[in-house]
Amino acid sequence: MTNNLSKKMNGFPADFLWGGATAANQVEGGYDAGGKGLTTADMVPFVPKAQRGLNFAIDVNSDYIERALKGEVEDRYPKRDGVDFYNRYEEDIELFAEMGFKAFRLSINWARIFPNGDDAVPNLEGLEFYDRVFAALNKHGIEPIVTLSHYETPLALSRKHNGWYSRELIPLFVKYAETVFNRYRHQVKYWITFNEINMMGHSPYTGGGVLIDRIPGRTKEQIAYQALHHQFVASALVTKLAHEIDPSAQVGCMLARTQTYPVTNNPDDVFLAQHYNDLNLFHTDVHVHGEYPSYMNRYFAENDIEIQKEIGDDEILKQYPVDYVSLSYYMSKSVAKNPENYEAVSGNLVTYAVKNQYLDTSDWGWQIDPKGLRITLRDMYNRYRKPLFVVENGLGAYDKVEEDGSIHDTYRIDYLKKHIEQMKEAVLDGVDLMGYTAWGPIDLISMSTSEMSKRYGFVYVDQDDEGNGTLNRSKKDSFDWYKRVIATNGEDL
Ligand code: BGP
């Protein structure tokens, strides 16, 4: 009988799910094709870099939406066209298969299935599009990892109910989930309910189609925690449903994990870092432990946050926790009791942070911290004792196309190599890690800035920030590198 402790793991498990991750609103395009309705993402205009502040959050307001719908604004909406995955999915999936993907994370666009969010019957053309995508993945033996909501709230639900601020969205979301669970139960085993559910606190419009200008007298935070509660209940209800429809289904939650450090060992800074880590991990605490953690009671009281719950909500949260915990990890952040003494930085969902003198930054100022990934995986695994899944990690960067068409993205290989090394260390530290789907395996539209020039892909797409280009795909140096990583199960980095 082998002693498990002595069974030396040389790295990733044999069934590790290597792949890439996308979001419908950032790759598909076809914003009005096949009967699809508008989503909140379709109303986010391109904002030139010079006009963005340090803590840029794409928040349109209700007045802008109504004017835009009347054609009274002259903006461009890059997410409406994406990179035309809607028509080119077969070619793209073949490229993913060529890299040896075991898994591919995508989101189903809710408004393809229910164009108005509350349609009596689902839109067959929308369902048939994902039939074709799943068939293409299946042909290549690639496991779909499907996000139900990745910043794609049907615009009609935002205009009618003010998005997830209304409890009305819970039954509508359950009906949408039931429709896709039933249709794709034989194609999809891994589901994720809400992408980066903590986006709600950063941008209620992006996270849940909530327009805070329609709720005078309440702070963004008060509004966000109420809308979040509705998403927590909806997530638990669809977890229950998934297990009823397919007992082998695995349902995960998803957090934009921002590992937070104190800028010094001054206990004031250390305490502040603990506070920010709690505010971030609060979301996965609710999804996994099925209850609001006690440390939030004081925070809610001190910030005048009162969440309206209904009878039965607490029981639903408790009874239907997630099966696994997925996360995005791009960077870490540092906080200081006296931030005025330090240089301010920003990043993915980071609106308040100070520079970490030990870390390099990306072209967009995100603090690159591979060791932070090992730290956070150990921390989260010990906190939850559930399998973890890194479903987003990657480097947004400017890429240069050489005369001969080659793209030497050594900086991207370096970033990914270092993060994969740290993931392997975490696995050797005992973390149960299901897989790794690098963000943006193909260049796509940036979530936060709607830029095309912020490239993440192993596959280059010929399109610029203004939407000009042939949309032709080509391989960067990182394409063959990642192919080797997967072929050697993370050994040849
Ligand atoms: C996360 C989103 C992804 C992706 C990523 C990179 O917040 O889940 O949709 O976009 O961030 O961010 P960006 O595209 O702004 O560089």
Ligand 1: which atom is nearest the Cα of residue 448?
15
396 in ligand 1 pocket by Cβ < 6 Å? yes
Measure the CA–CA gap between 366 and 94, rounded to whole angstroms.
Answer: 31
pLDDT tens by residue, 178-190: 999 999 999 999 9
DSSP E strand stretches across 279-362: 324-328, 332-335, 344-347, 350-354, 360-361
Q: How many CB atoms lie within 10 A of CB 182?
A: 11
What pLDDT sits at residue 350? Answer: 76
Q: How many CB atoms lie within 10 A of CB 87?
A: 12
Among all chains, which residue has been given the structure tokens 């009906």? 175
State which amino acid sits at residue 455. Answer: R
pLDDT tens by residue, 331-378: 999 999 999 999 988 888 777 799 999 999 999 889 999 999 999 999
User: Which residues are annotated as catalytic?
Assistant: 196, 392
In our burial notation (b when 16+ CB lie closer than 10 A, e otherwise), range 19-34 reads bbbbbbbbbbbbbeee
Q: How many CB atoms lie within 10 A of CB 227?
A: 26
223 in ligand 1 pocket by Cβ < 6 Å? no
Give, as one character, the DSSP assignment of residue 343.
Answer: -
State which amino acid sits at residue 359. Answer: L
Residue 2: pLDDT over 70: no
d(CA 361, ligand 1 centre) in Å = 16
Sheet holding 259-262: strands in order across? Answer: 259-262, 332-335, 350-354, 344-347
pLDDT tens by residue, 30-85: 999 999 999 999 999 998 887 776 656 667 899 999 999 999 999 999 999 999 99
pLDDT tens by residue, 402-423: 999 999 999 999 999 999 999 9
State which amino acid sits at residue 52. Answer: R
Measure the CA–CA gap between 137 and 276, rounded to whole angstroms.
Answer: 39
Ligand 1: which atom is nearest the Cα of residue 26?
9
What are the beta bridge partners of residue 149?
194
123 in ligand 1 pocket by Cβ < 6 Å? no
What pLDDT sits at residue 347? Answer: 82
Nearest alpha carbon to residue 489 among 43, 8, 13: 13
Phi and psi, residue 165, nearest 5°: -70, -25
What pLDDT sits at residue 58? Answer: 67
Mutate to test the pocket of ligand 1, among 46, 439, 450 (most ligand atoms within 8 A of CB): 439
CATH class of 2-487: alpha beta
Average pLDDT, the chain: 95
Nearest alpha carbon to residue 357 among 276, 277, 269, 263: 263
Residue 1: pLDDT over 70: no
State the DSSP H helix or E strand holding residue 363, giving kind and residue range, or none if neither: none
Give the residue with greater pLDDT, 448 vs 349.
Answer: 448
Mutate to test the pocket of ligand 1, among 392, 393, 444 (most ligand atoms within 8 A of CB): 392
Tell me if residue 158 falls in helix, strand or coil: helix
For residue 86, what are the CA distances in angstroms to 1, 83, 92, 299, 449? 52, 8, 10, 44, 21
Give, as one character, the DSSP assignment of residue 107.
Answer: E
Measure the CA–CA gap between 384 and 421, rounded to whole angstroms.
Answer: 23
Nearest alpha carbon to residue 234 among 186, 166, 180: 166
In our burial notation (b when 16+ CB lie closer than 10 A, e otherwise), range 352-368 reads ebbbbeebeebebebbb
Nearest alpha carbon to residue 250 among 192, 317, 177: 192
